[in-house]
Homo-oligomer: A and B are copies of this chain.
Amino acid sequence: MTSRQDFEQLDASDPLASLRDLFDLPEGLIYLDGNSLGAMPRTTAARMQRVIQSEWGRDLIQSWNKAGWMDLPRRVGDKIARLVGVGPGEVVVADSTSVNLFKVLSAAMRIVKEDQPHRHVILSETTNFPSDLYIAESLAQVHGFRLELAEAGAIPSRLSDQVAVLLLTQVNYRTGRLHHMAALTRAAHRAGTLAIWDLAHSTGALPVNLMGDGSSEEAADFAVGCGYKFLNGGPGAPAFVWCHPRHVERSWQPLSGWLGHSAPFEFTPGYRPAPDIGRYLCGTPPVLSLAALECGVDSLLAAEPMGGLEALREKSIALSESFIHLAEERCAGFGLSLVTPRESGQRGSQVSFAHAHGYPIMQALIARRVIGDFRAPDLLRFGITPIYTRYVDVWDAVEQLRAVLDGEEWRDARFNARGIVT
Protein backbone atom coordinates (compact mmCIF):
# COMPACT_ATOMS: atom_id res chain seq x y z
CA MET A 1 0.00 0.00 0.00
CA THR A 2 2.34 2.69 -1.13
CA SER A 3 0.39 4.86 -3.50
CA ARG A 4 -2.89 6.72 -3.79
CA GLN A 5 -3.86 4.24 -6.49
CA ASP A 6 -3.69 1.40 -3.99
CA PHE A 7 -6.20 3.22 -1.82
CA GLU A 8 -8.43 4.06 -4.76
CA GLN A 9 -8.43 0.35 -5.47
CA LEU A 10 -9.49 -0.44 -1.92
CA ASP A 11 -12.44 1.92 -2.31
CA ALA A 12 -13.33 0.39 -5.65
CA SER A 13 -13.55 -3.06 -4.12
CA ASP A 14 -15.16 -1.94 -0.83
CA PRO A 15 -18.62 -3.53 -0.53
CA LEU A 16 -19.61 -0.72 1.88
CA ALA A 17 -18.48 2.11 -0.40
CA SER A 18 -22.00 2.98 -1.54
CA LEU A 19 -23.02 3.84 2.02
CA ARG A 20 -21.16 7.12 1.66
CA ASP A 21 -23.89 8.17 -0.78
CA LEU A 22 -26.30 8.28 2.13
CA PHE A 23 -24.48 11.43 3.24
CA ASP A 24 -24.09 14.83 1.74
CA LEU A 25 -20.41 15.66 2.23
CA PRO A 26 -18.77 18.77 0.83
CA GLU A 27 -16.68 18.24 -2.28
CA GLY A 28 -12.96 18.19 -1.58
CA LEU A 29 -13.28 18.06 2.18
CA ILE A 30 -11.77 15.22 4.18
CA TYR A 31 -13.91 14.98 7.25
CA LEU A 32 -12.29 13.15 10.14
CA ASP A 33 -14.37 14.60 12.95
CA GLY A 34 -17.45 12.40 12.91
CA ASN A 35 -16.53 11.39 16.45
CA SER A 36 -17.40 14.95 17.44
CA LEU A 37 -20.18 15.85 14.99
CA GLY A 38 -21.43 13.29 12.48
CA ALA A 39 -22.04 14.29 8.86
CA MET A 40 -25.46 15.16 7.45
CA PRO A 41 -27.51 12.32 5.95
CA ARG A 42 -29.06 13.16 2.59
CA THR A 43 -32.55 12.45 3.90
CA THR A 44 -32.42 14.89 6.79
CA ALA A 45 -33.20 18.16 5.01
CA ALA A 46 -36.31 16.82 3.29
CA ARG A 47 -37.50 15.10 6.44
CA MET A 48 -37.12 18.31 8.41
CA GLN A 49 -39.04 20.28 5.82
CA ARG A 50 -41.85 17.76 6.08
CA VAL A 51 -41.87 17.89 9.86
CA ILE A 52 -41.79 21.67 9.91
CA GLN A 53 -44.03 22.63 7.04
CA SER A 54 -46.48 19.77 6.89
CA GLU A 55 -46.59 18.21 10.35
CA TRP A 56 -46.15 21.37 12.39
CA GLY A 57 -47.24 24.04 9.92
CA ARG A 58 -50.34 22.29 8.51
CA ASP A 59 -51.47 19.81 11.14
CA LEU A 60 -50.21 21.67 14.18
CA ILE A 61 -51.18 20.15 17.53
CA GLN A 62 -52.79 17.13 15.86
CA SER A 63 -49.40 15.84 14.79
CA TRP A 64 -48.69 14.64 18.31
CA ASN A 65 -50.83 11.66 17.35
CA LYS A 66 -51.32 11.86 13.61
CA ALA A 67 -47.62 12.14 12.78
CA GLY A 68 -46.50 9.94 15.67
CA TRP A 69 -44.58 12.69 17.44
CA MET A 70 -45.40 11.24 20.82
CA ASP A 71 -43.91 7.87 19.80
CA LEU A 72 -40.61 9.32 18.59
CA PRO A 73 -38.63 8.79 21.83
CA ARG A 74 -39.53 5.09 21.81
CA ARG A 75 -39.48 4.57 18.06
CA VAL A 76 -36.00 6.01 17.65
CA GLY A 77 -35.01 4.26 20.87
CA ASP A 78 -36.05 0.91 19.38
CA LYS A 79 -33.84 1.59 16.38
CA ILE A 80 -30.86 2.49 18.55
CA ALA A 81 -31.49 -0.66 20.60
CA ARG A 82 -30.54 -2.67 17.49
CA LEU A 83 -27.16 -0.94 17.45
CA VAL A 84 -26.31 -1.68 21.09
CA GLY A 85 -27.47 -5.28 21.41
CA VAL A 86 -30.67 -4.86 23.37
CA GLY A 87 -34.33 -5.38 22.63
CA PRO A 88 -37.23 -3.20 21.53
CA GLY A 89 -38.86 -1.27 24.34
CA GLU A 90 -35.60 -1.02 26.27
CA VAL A 91 -34.21 2.30 25.02
CA VAL A 92 -35.68 5.79 24.87
CA VAL A 93 -34.30 8.97 23.35
CA ALA A 94 -34.44 12.03 25.59
CA ASP A 95 -32.50 15.00 26.87
CA SER A 96 -28.71 15.13 26.66
CA THR A 97 -26.10 12.51 27.51
CA SER A 98 -25.23 14.38 30.72
CA VAL A 99 -28.86 14.61 31.82
CA ASN A 100 -29.38 10.92 31.06
CA LEU A 101 -26.25 10.04 32.97
CA PHE A 102 -27.66 11.95 35.92
CA LYS A 103 -30.79 9.80 35.71
CA VAL A 104 -29.09 6.41 35.51
CA LEU A 105 -26.41 7.21 38.06
CA SER A 106 -29.11 8.41 40.46
CA ALA A 107 -31.05 5.20 39.84
CA ALA A 108 -27.99 3.00 40.33
CA MET A 109 -26.94 4.77 43.52
CA ARG A 110 -30.41 4.34 44.93
CA ILE A 111 -30.44 0.63 44.19
CA VAL A 112 -27.10 0.20 45.92
CA LYS A 113 -28.24 2.35 48.84
CA GLU A 114 -31.12 -0.05 49.37
CA ASP A 115 -29.26 -3.30 48.82
CA GLN A 116 -25.74 -2.56 50.06
CA PRO A 117 -25.91 0.64 52.10
CA HIS A 118 -22.26 0.45 53.14
CA ARG A 119 -21.00 1.12 49.58
CA HIS A 120 -20.27 4.78 48.91
CA VAL A 121 -17.82 4.93 46.04
CA ILE A 122 -18.42 5.79 42.40
CA LEU A 123 -15.42 4.51 40.44
CA SER A 124 -14.53 6.01 37.09
CA GLU A 125 -11.61 6.62 34.79
CA THR A 126 -9.26 9.57 35.31
CA THR A 127 -9.59 10.62 31.67
CA ASN A 128 -13.29 9.89 31.30
CA PHE A 129 -15.14 12.70 29.53
CA PRO A 130 -15.26 15.58 32.04
CA SER A 131 -19.03 16.02 31.81
CA ASP A 132 -19.49 12.48 33.09
CA LEU A 133 -17.15 13.16 35.97
CA TYR A 134 -18.86 16.47 36.77
CA ILE A 135 -22.24 14.74 36.98
CA ALA A 136 -20.77 11.98 39.15
CA GLU A 137 -19.07 14.55 41.37
CA SER A 138 -22.36 16.37 41.83
CA LEU A 139 -24.36 13.26 42.70
CA ALA A 140 -21.63 12.02 45.00
CA GLN A 141 -21.77 15.32 46.85
CA VAL A 142 -25.56 15.31 47.17
CA HIS A 143 -25.77 11.73 48.40
CA GLY A 144 -22.64 11.45 50.52
CA PHE A 145 -20.78 9.24 48.06
CA ARG A 146 -17.17 9.61 46.93
CA LEU A 147 -15.96 9.76 43.34
CA GLU A 148 -12.71 7.82 42.87
CA LEU A 149 -10.73 7.88 39.65
CA ALA A 150 -8.26 5.37 38.28
CA GLU A 151 -6.20 4.94 35.14
CA ALA A 152 -7.81 2.56 32.66
CA GLY A 153 -5.53 -0.37 33.43
CA ALA A 154 -5.96 -0.07 37.18
CA ILE A 155 -9.74 -0.20 37.21
CA PRO A 156 -10.21 -3.92 37.91
CA SER A 157 -7.89 -3.76 40.88
CA ARG A 158 -9.79 -0.79 42.31
CA LEU A 159 -13.07 -2.68 42.46
CA SER A 160 -13.92 -3.57 46.05
CA ASP A 161 -16.82 -3.99 48.44
CA GLN A 162 -16.81 -0.21 48.81
CA VAL A 163 -17.58 0.49 45.17
CA ALA A 164 -21.26 1.05 44.49
CA VAL A 165 -21.09 1.94 40.81
CA LEU A 166 -18.52 1.62 38.05
CA LEU A 167 -19.02 4.41 35.51
CA LEU A 168 -17.06 4.16 32.28
CA THR A 169 -17.14 5.45 28.75
CA GLN A 170 -16.57 2.54 26.40
CA VAL A 171 -14.27 4.48 24.07
CA ASN A 172 -12.10 7.21 25.56
CA TYR A 173 -12.70 10.58 23.91
CA ARG A 174 -9.01 11.49 23.97
CA THR A 175 -7.10 8.33 23.30
CA GLY A 176 -9.73 6.30 21.47
CA ARG A 177 -8.97 3.40 23.77
CA LEU A 178 -11.73 0.79 23.81
CA HIS A 179 -12.60 -0.86 27.10
CA HIS A 180 -13.51 -4.54 27.18
CA MET A 181 -17.07 -3.95 28.25
CA ALA A 182 -18.08 -7.51 29.03
CA ALA A 183 -14.94 -8.24 31.04
CA LEU A 184 -15.17 -5.06 33.09
CA THR A 185 -18.90 -5.53 33.67
CA ARG A 186 -18.18 -9.07 34.84
CA ALA A 187 -15.43 -7.84 37.15
CA ALA A 188 -17.76 -5.19 38.54
CA HIS A 189 -20.58 -7.66 39.13
CA ARG A 190 -18.25 -10.12 40.84
CA ALA A 191 -17.32 -7.29 43.18
CA GLY A 192 -21.02 -6.56 43.79
CA THR A 193 -20.82 -3.30 41.83
CA LEU A 194 -23.27 -1.96 39.23
CA ALA A 195 -21.90 -1.02 35.81
CA ILE A 196 -22.95 2.06 33.84
CA TRP A 197 -21.62 2.54 30.33
CA ASP A 198 -21.46 5.78 28.38
CA LEU A 199 -21.55 4.76 24.72
CA ALA A 200 -20.98 8.25 23.29
CA HIS A 201 -17.97 7.28 21.21
CA SER A 202 -18.99 3.73 20.39
CA THR A 203 -22.65 3.61 19.35
CA GLY A 204 -22.78 3.59 15.56
CA ALA A 205 -19.00 3.16 15.29
CA LEU A 206 -18.67 -0.47 16.31
CA PRO A 207 -20.91 -3.33 17.44
CA VAL A 208 -21.92 -2.65 21.03
CA ASN A 209 -23.28 -5.53 23.02
CA LEU A 210 -24.70 -4.38 26.32
CA MET A 211 -25.94 -7.88 27.14
CA GLY A 212 -22.51 -9.52 26.85
CA ASP A 213 -22.98 -13.29 26.69
CA GLY A 214 -26.52 -12.89 27.96
CA SER A 215 -25.67 -13.88 31.52
CA SER A 216 -26.59 -11.52 34.31
CA GLU A 217 -22.90 -11.36 35.11
CA GLU A 218 -21.90 -9.89 31.74
CA ALA A 219 -24.96 -7.79 31.02
CA ALA A 220 -24.48 -4.12 31.84
CA ASP A 221 -26.85 -2.39 34.22
CA PHE A 222 -27.37 1.00 32.61
CA ALA A 223 -26.17 2.85 29.53
CA VAL A 224 -26.41 6.27 27.94
CA GLY A 225 -25.20 7.49 24.57
CA CYS A 226 -24.93 10.42 22.26
CA GLY A 227 -26.98 11.21 19.14
CA TYR A 228 -24.71 13.64 17.34
CA LYS A 229 -21.46 11.70 16.90
CA PHE A 230 -21.52 8.36 15.09
CA LEU A 231 -25.33 8.42 14.95
CA ASN A 232 -25.27 11.49 12.69
CA GLY A 233 -28.27 13.08 14.39
CA GLY A 234 -27.19 16.69 13.96
CA PRO A 235 -25.57 19.26 16.27
CA GLY A 236 -26.76 18.77 19.83
CA ALA A 237 -29.04 15.86 18.89
CA PRO A 238 -30.82 14.27 21.84
CA ALA A 239 -29.23 11.34 23.65
CA PHE A 240 -30.47 7.90 24.59
CA VAL A 241 -30.79 5.91 27.77
CA TRP A 242 -31.06 2.21 28.55
CA CYS A 243 -31.74 0.36 31.78
CA HIS A 244 -31.44 -3.41 32.04
CA PRO A 245 -34.94 -4.90 32.21
CA ARG A 246 -34.08 -6.53 35.54
CA HIS A 247 -33.78 -3.09 37.13
CA VAL A 248 -36.46 -1.11 35.35
CA GLU A 249 -39.40 -1.65 37.63
CA ARG A 250 -37.55 -0.90 40.83
CA SER A 251 -35.38 1.85 39.44
CA TRP A 252 -36.21 5.42 40.29
CA GLN A 253 -34.71 8.53 38.79
CA PRO A 254 -35.31 12.01 40.17
CA LEU A 255 -36.06 13.88 36.92
CA SER A 256 -39.68 12.86 37.26
CA GLY A 257 -41.21 14.98 34.51
CA TRP A 258 -44.65 14.31 33.11
CA LEU A 259 -43.54 12.25 30.11
CA GLY A 260 -42.02 9.68 32.49
CA HIS A 261 -45.37 9.24 34.21
CA SER A 262 -47.33 6.06 33.54
CA ALA A 263 -50.29 8.13 32.30
CA PRO A 264 -49.08 11.64 31.51
CA PHE A 265 -52.30 12.75 29.86
CA GLU A 266 -54.41 11.97 32.87
CA PHE A 267 -52.77 14.97 34.54
CA THR A 268 -53.14 13.36 37.93
CA PRO A 269 -51.36 14.48 41.07
CA GLY A 270 -48.70 12.13 42.44
CA TYR A 271 -45.86 10.85 40.29
CA ARG A 272 -46.35 7.24 39.21
CA PRO A 273 -43.47 6.25 36.94
CA ALA A 274 -44.12 4.35 33.73
CA PRO A 275 -43.67 0.59 34.22
CA ASP A 276 -40.96 0.44 31.56
CA ILE A 277 -38.03 2.44 30.21
CA GLY A 278 -40.53 5.29 29.68
CA ARG A 279 -39.79 6.32 33.26
CA TYR A 280 -36.50 7.70 32.00
CA LEU A 281 -38.32 10.30 29.92
CA CYS A 282 -38.88 13.70 31.49
CA GLY A 283 -40.16 16.66 29.45
CA THR A 284 -41.97 17.03 26.14
CA PRO A 285 -40.11 15.26 23.30
CA PRO A 286 -37.91 17.57 21.18
CA VAL A 287 -39.63 16.65 17.92
CA LEU A 288 -37.45 18.53 15.44
CA SER A 289 -34.25 17.11 16.91
CA LEU A 290 -35.73 13.64 17.21
CA ALA A 291 -36.75 13.61 13.56
CA ALA A 292 -33.23 14.58 12.51
CA LEU A 293 -31.76 11.93 14.77
CA GLU A 294 -34.03 9.29 13.26
CA CYS A 295 -32.56 10.06 9.82
CA GLY A 296 -29.07 9.60 11.23
CA VAL A 297 -29.91 6.30 12.92
CA ASP A 298 -31.67 5.08 9.76
CA SER A 299 -28.46 5.61 7.81
CA LEU A 300 -26.73 3.09 10.09
CA LEU A 301 -29.59 0.64 9.86
CA ALA A 302 -29.28 0.87 6.08
CA ALA A 303 -25.95 -0.92 6.50
CA GLU A 304 -27.63 -3.99 8.02
CA PRO A 305 -28.04 -5.87 4.72
CA MET A 306 -24.30 -5.35 4.11
CA GLY A 307 -23.27 -6.81 7.42
CA GLY A 308 -24.16 -3.86 9.63
CA LEU A 309 -21.86 -2.75 12.39
CA GLU A 310 -19.72 -5.88 12.16
CA ALA A 311 -18.84 -5.03 8.58
CA LEU A 312 -18.42 -1.34 9.42
CA ARG A 313 -16.14 -2.28 12.29
CA GLU A 314 -13.92 -4.30 9.94
CA LYS A 315 -13.67 -1.34 7.64
CA SER A 316 -13.01 1.01 10.55
CA ILE A 317 -10.12 -1.17 11.66
CA ALA A 318 -8.71 -1.34 8.13
CA LEU A 319 -8.96 2.45 7.81
CA SER A 320 -7.35 3.19 11.15
CA GLU A 321 -4.60 0.58 10.65
CA SER A 322 -3.81 2.30 7.37
CA PHE A 323 -3.91 5.70 8.98
CA ILE A 324 -1.50 4.69 11.72
CA HIS A 325 0.92 2.90 9.39
CA LEU A 326 0.92 5.65 6.79
CA ALA A 327 1.29 8.43 9.33
CA GLU A 328 4.15 6.71 11.13
CA GLU A 329 5.88 5.94 7.86
CA ARG A 330 5.31 9.12 5.90
CA CYS A 331 5.50 11.54 8.82
CA ALA A 332 8.42 9.84 10.52
CA GLY A 333 10.81 12.24 12.24
CA PHE A 334 8.28 15.05 12.61
CA GLY A 335 7.52 14.46 16.27
CA LEU A 336 4.20 12.64 16.10
CA SER A 337 3.63 9.96 18.70
CA LEU A 338 0.74 7.56 18.64
CA VAL A 339 -1.59 7.83 21.61
CA THR A 340 -4.30 5.45 20.45
CA PRO A 341 -3.63 1.81 21.32
CA ARG A 342 -1.80 0.09 18.49
CA GLU A 343 -3.77 -3.10 19.00
CA SER A 344 -6.96 -2.68 16.95
CA GLY A 345 -9.05 -4.65 19.43
CA GLN A 346 -8.29 -2.00 22.05
CA ARG A 347 -9.22 0.90 19.81
CA GLY A 348 -12.53 2.58 19.07
CA SER A 349 -12.95 4.42 15.80
CA GLN A 350 -10.47 7.25 16.07
CA VAL A 351 -6.74 7.73 15.87
CA SER A 352 -4.99 10.20 18.17
CA PHE A 353 -1.44 11.44 17.90
CA ALA A 354 0.38 13.72 20.30
CA HIS A 355 2.54 16.53 19.00
CA ALA A 356 4.13 19.37 20.94
CA HIS A 357 2.68 21.86 18.45
CA GLY A 358 -0.61 20.04 18.03
CA TYR A 359 -2.81 23.09 18.03
CA PRO A 360 -1.27 25.08 15.15
CA ILE A 361 -0.68 21.88 13.21
CA MET A 362 -4.35 20.98 13.36
CA GLN A 363 -5.28 24.53 12.37
CA ALA A 364 -3.00 24.35 9.36
CA LEU A 365 -4.45 20.97 8.44
CA ILE A 366 -7.99 22.33 8.68
CA ALA A 367 -6.96 25.19 6.38
CA ARG A 368 -6.01 22.48 3.92
CA ARG A 369 -9.53 21.04 4.28
CA VAL A 370 -8.64 18.04 6.36
CA ILE A 371 -10.91 18.30 9.39
CA GLY A 372 -9.79 16.63 12.58
CA ASP A 373 -9.69 18.30 15.96
CA PHE A 374 -7.40 19.22 18.80
CA ARG A 375 -7.60 18.50 22.51
CA ALA A 376 -5.29 20.23 24.94
CA PRO A 377 -2.49 20.00 25.65
CA ASP A 378 -1.13 18.25 22.57
CA LEU A 379 -3.63 15.87 21.00
CA LEU A 380 -4.50 15.61 17.32
CA ARG A 381 -7.70 13.56 16.98
CA PHE A 382 -8.80 11.94 13.73
CA GLY A 383 -12.21 10.31 13.74
CA ILE A 384 -12.75 7.35 11.46
CA THR A 385 -16.38 7.04 10.44
CA PRO A 386 -16.53 3.86 8.39
CA ILE A 387 -19.94 4.61 6.94
CA TYR A 388 -18.61 7.58 4.97
CA THR A 389 -14.81 7.68 5.30
CA ARG A 390 -13.01 6.36 2.19
CA TYR A 391 -9.64 4.65 2.02
CA VAL A 392 -8.44 7.43 -0.24
CA ASP A 393 -9.39 9.94 2.46
CA VAL A 394 -6.86 8.26 4.73
CA TRP A 395 -4.17 8.54 2.09
CA ASP A 396 -4.97 12.16 1.34
CA ALA A 397 -5.21 13.13 5.02
CA VAL A 398 -1.81 11.69 5.79
CA GLU A 399 -0.30 13.39 2.74
CA GLN A 400 -1.68 16.72 3.91
CA LEU A 401 -0.47 16.08 7.43
CA ARG A 402 2.99 15.34 6.10
CA ALA A 403 2.93 18.51 4.03
CA VAL A 404 1.94 20.55 7.08
CA LEU A 405 4.59 18.98 9.30
CA ASP A 406 7.20 19.38 6.64
CA GLY A 407 6.36 23.01 5.97
CA GLU A 408 6.31 26.29 7.79
CA GLU A 409 2.66 27.24 7.60
CA TRP A 410 1.71 26.00 11.08
CA ARG A 411 4.21 28.50 12.52
CA ASP A 412 2.02 31.25 11.07
CA ALA A 413 0.62 33.48 13.83
CA ARG A 414 -2.96 32.96 12.75
CA PHE A 415 -2.69 29.30 13.64
CA ASN A 416 -1.19 29.97 17.01
CA ALA A 417 -3.97 31.79 18.77
CA ARG A 418 -6.08 29.34 20.76
CA GLY A 419 -9.77 29.53 21.20
CA ILE A 420 -11.49 27.44 18.60
CA VAL A 421 -14.10 24.98 19.60
CA THR A 422 -13.93 21.67 17.84
Residues of A near any B CB (own CB < 8 A):
24, 26, 29, 31, 33, 36-37, 39-40, 44-45, 48-49, 52-53, 55-58, 60-65, 69-70, 95-99, 102, 126, 129-131, 133-135, 137-139, 142, 149, 228, 234-239, 254-259, 261, 264-271, 282-290, 292, 366, 371, 373, 375-376, 420-422
Query: CA separation between A60 and B372, bound complex, in Å?
Result: 11
Q: A99-B99, A421-B64 are in contact. Are A130 and B371 (CB under 8 A)?
A: no
Q: Please tell me if the beta carbons of B371 and A96 are within 8 angstroms of each other in the complex.
A: no
Query: CA separation between A422 and B61, bound complex, in Å?
Result: 6
**A-B contacts besides A131-B257, A266-B376, 19 pairs, CB < 8 Å:** A26-B58, A31-B60, A48-B288, A52-B292, A55-B235, A61-B371, A61-B373, A63-B235, A129-B258, A130-B261, A130-B269, A137-B271, A138-B271, A235-B284, A235-B285, A235-B286, A236-B284, A286-B286, A286-B289
Q: Please tell me if the beta carbons of A236 and B65 are within 8 angstroms of each other in the complex.
A: no
When A and B form their complex, which 7 residue pairs have the shortest distance between CB atoms, in order from nearest?
A96-B283, A98-B257, A131-B258, A235-B287, A134-B271, A236-B286, A40-B57
Closest to A235 in B: B287
Closest to A141 in B: B254
Picked from B48, B64, B137, B286, the residue with its CB within 8 Å of the CB of A237 is B286
Query: CA separation between A129 and B283, bound complex, in Å?
Result: 12
Residue from A33, A289, A290 having most chain B Cβ neighbours under 10 A: A289
Copies per complex of this chain? 2
Shortest Cβ distance from residue A359 to the other chain B in the assembled complex, whole angstroms: 12
Q: A33-B60, A375-B267 are in contact. Are A257 and B288 (CB under 8 A)?
A: no
Query: CA separation between A191 and B335, bound complex, in Å?
Result: 67
